[in-house]
Amino acid sequence: MELKLGLKVHEADNVATIFAEGILKGTQVQIRDKSGNTQMLTVLNDIPYGHKVAVIAINKGELINKYGEEIGIASKDITPGEHVHVHNLDSMRGRGDLERSKQ
């Protein structure tokens, strides 16, 4: 069986990027980080190449971190193994309303 990989780049990341084709619901994916740690994760949805998967539970309203950067806010609770994309993530880019609310 071919090993399916995901990469978690920064220790603060709560998502990993999928680097494999054919990731369907129920597929086992090995998540690797730059320190050499690995985690086996069963995906809960089909996930396209280059998309994100949650590696830990993310509660609604929590920041989503990828590559050590805050890329968005969870718009609903996200379970480990779940596809993270526009259906459960609100982008922070170009959101002047979010910038004002932080002040």
CATH of 5-102, one of 3.30.365.10, 2.30.130.110, 3.40.50.10480, 3.20.20.150: 2.30.130.110
pLDDT tens, 10-21?
999 999 999 999
* Max CA distance (Å), the chain: 51
What is the three-class DSSP state of 23? strand
pLDDT of residue 102 exceeding 80, the answer is no
Q: What does the domain layout of the chain look like in residue ranges?
A: 5-102
pLDDT tens, 28-48?
999 999 999 999 999 999 999
* pTM for this model (two decimals): 0.87
Give CA 45 to chain center in angstroms.
Answer: 12
DSSP one-letter string for 32-72: EETTS-EEEEE-SS-B-TT-EEESS-B-TT-EEEETTEEEE
d(Cα 63, Cα 89) in Å, to the nearest integer?
9
